[in-house]
Structure 1
Amino acid sequence: MEWIVKIGGSLFPHHAKKLLENLLGEDIMIIAGGGEFANKIREYDHELGFSDTASHEAAILSMDIMGILLADLVKGAEATQTIKEAKKIIKDGKIPVLLPSRILHYLDPLKHSWQVTSDSIAFYISKLMHTKLLIATDVDGIYTIDPTNSEARLINEISAKKLLTFGETAVDEELPKLLLKYKSDCYVANGKHPQRILSLIKSTDTIYTRIRGD
C-alpha cells in the first residue's frame, strides 16, 4: 500500500461516494473526515465548554461514524478498526475504510485541540503505515488567499514552514507542524474530481498542491 486517501467530510455524501467508487481496485486505504458531525461537536463545545479531551475524542468518533456510513454506501469498501484487518481487506480485493478511534485512544499521539482535525489524524496513521497521504477536499488545493476571492491563485507546491504563516487553509493548523517534525510531504486535491485523485495516485499530471515538510 502506497497511499492513504483522506476523504474530507465536506465531500459527504455524494462526492465522497463517487470518489470512493472511482478508487475501487486501487491499493489504498481510506480515512473519512468527521464532516458535519464534527462541526456540530465544535459548535456545542463553543456553547457549553467541554473539556479538550471530551471534544477531541468525540470528534474522532465522528470520523468513525462517517467511515461506517461511507463504507456502507459503496460495494467493495469495508470499514475496519485495525491496520492488520485493513491489510487483509486489501488482499481480499476491497478498499478498507479505517475507523481511527480505537488506535487514537490507545496511542493518544496528538494534542487534544481543535487545531488537530482529521487531516493531522490521517497523517499520523500514514506515518504508522509508511504511506503517502493525499487529502481530498472540496477545493483544488492551497491558495494564495481565500479561494472564494477572485484574486486567489492555486499554489502547486509550498513548504510547510511557509504554510504556517497562512492562517486558515484547506488543511488543519497542526498538519504543517507535523510535516516539519517528521520531514514528510502530503498532497491536497479536489475530491469532486475523482480523476485528479486517481492521476495523483498514479503519478500523472493533474491539479493539486504538494506541501513539503523540508
Structure 2
Amino acid sequence: MNLSVIKLGGSLMGCPELPLWLDCIESAAKNSNIIIVPGGGKFADSIRTLQKTYHFNDLVAHRMALLAMSQFGYLLTSMNPQINVVSNFHDLSSNLGKQSPLLWMPLSLCDDDSEIESSWDFTSDSIALWLAIKLDAGKLILVKSKSLNNDRSLIINHINNNDIDQGFQKLIDNYSGEISFLLKDQYQFLA
C-alpha cells in the first residue's frame, strides 16, 4: 500500500472543515497508509507570545511547541476515534496496513534528533517533511489556510513569504516524493 503523510495545520482548529478532513482521511486509509502530523495552531502561537514575555530559549520553546502539536493531535483523535495514536517513531512501520489512519506524536523523537533543529525554523511543516523522508512516503500533503502553488520549484518563494518554515528548505532535497499543498476546503481530493 502507498504511504502518505498528511500535515493538518493548526489553522484548521475551529474550522467547520476539520471533521470533514478527518472523515475523508479515515475513508482514504482503507486503501492507503496515512500518517497524520498535527500542527500546533493556537497552542503554538501562545508559546511564541510567552517566549517574547519570558525570554526562554529556543530549546524550551521547541519542546513546548511539540507539546502543542500533541495537544492538537489529541483534539483530532477525540473527534475521530478511528485515528490511532503512535508516539514512538519506531512503532509507525509496525502499525501500517491496518486500514485506519495513524496520528504521530513527535515529542519523543524530536527532542533527540539532530536533523530537527530546536528553533522556530523547524515547525510542523518541516517535521512532517522529515517524517515523509524517514518513511520514504510517496506523498506529503500539507493542509494550509492559504493557497500555495504545488510547483516544487516555488518552495523557496513559499518560505520567503513565511507560508512554510525555513527548515523545509534544508530538508526538501532529501525527499523524492510528491508534495501537495491543499486548502482547508479541499478535503475531497483525498477521496
Q: What is the CA–CA distance in structure 2 between the aligned matches of 1:135 and 1:161, rounded to whole Å?
A: 13
CA drift of 1:10 comes to 0.2
Matched ranges for 1:7-156 at <5 A: 7-13=8-14, 14-25=16-27, 26=29, 27-131=33-137, 132-141=139-148, 155-156=149-150
The answer (yes or no) to whether the contact 2:40–2:65 under 8 Å persists in 1 is yes
The answer (yes or no) to whether the contact 1:29–1:98 under 8 Å persists in 2 is yes
How large is the Cα RMSD of the aligned pairs? 2.1
Work out the number of aligned pairs and report it.
183
Provide Cα deviations, 1:159-203, integer angstroms capped at 9, x if missing partner: 157427x622421122123213x254522111322113x16xxxx
Q: What is the CA–CA distance in structure 1 between the aligned matches of 2:25 and 2:175, rounded to whole Å?
A: 28
The answer (yes or no) to whether the contact 2:38–2:69 under 8 Å persists in 1 is yes
89 and 18 in structure 1: CA distance in 2 versus 1, 3 angstrom threshold: farther
Matched ranges for 1:139-178 at <5 A: 139-141=146-148, 155-159=149-153, 162-163=156-157, 167-178=160-171
Q: What is the CA–CA distance in structure 2 between the aligned matches of 1:161 and 1:75, rounded to whole Å?
A: 34
Q: What is the CA–CA distance in structure 2 between the aligned matches of 1:161 and 1:37, rounded to whole Å?
A: 26
The answer (yes or no) to whether the contact 2:35–2:104 under 8 Å persists in 1 is yes
Greater relative CO (CA pairs within 8 A, separation 6+) = 2
Q: What is the CA–CA distance in structure 2 between the aligned matches of 1:73 and 1:108, rounded to whole Å?
A: 33
CA drift of 1:89 comes to 4.0
61 and 156 in structure 1: CA distance in 2 versus 1, 3 angstrom threshold: closer
Amino acid at match of 2:146: V
54 and 75 in structure 1: CA distance in 2 versus 1, 3 angstrom threshold: same
Q: What is the CA–CA distance in structure 2 between the aligned matches of 1:188 and 1:87, rounded to whole Å?
A: 25
Amino acid at match of 1:105: D
Identity score, percent? 23
**Which range moves more in the overlay, 97-106 or 182-191?**
182-191
1:189 aligns with 2:190: no
Q: What is the CA–CA distance in structure 1 between the aligned matches of 2:112 and 2:37, rounded to whole Å?
A: 18
SS of residue paired to 2:17: helix
TM-score, structure 1 normalization = 0.76
Q: What is the CA–CA distance in structure 1 between the aligned matches of 2:8 and 2:63, rounded to whole Å?
A: 19
Q: What is the CA–CA distance in structure 2 between the aligned matches of 1:105 and 1:94, rounded to whole Å?
A: 27
> Which is higher, the Rg of structure 1 or of structure 2?
1
Amino acid at match of 1:16: L
112 and 160 in structure 1: CA distance in 2 versus 1, 3 angstrom threshold: farther
Where does the alignment leave 5 or more consecutive residues of structure 1 unmatched? 142-154, 200-214
The answer (yes or no) to whether the contact 1:37–1:62 under 8 Å persists in 2 is yes
CA drift of 1:83 comes to 3.5
The answer (yes or no) to whether the contact 1:89–1:95 under 8 Å persists in 2 is no
SS of residue paired to 1:91: coil
TM-score, structure 2 normalization = 0.85
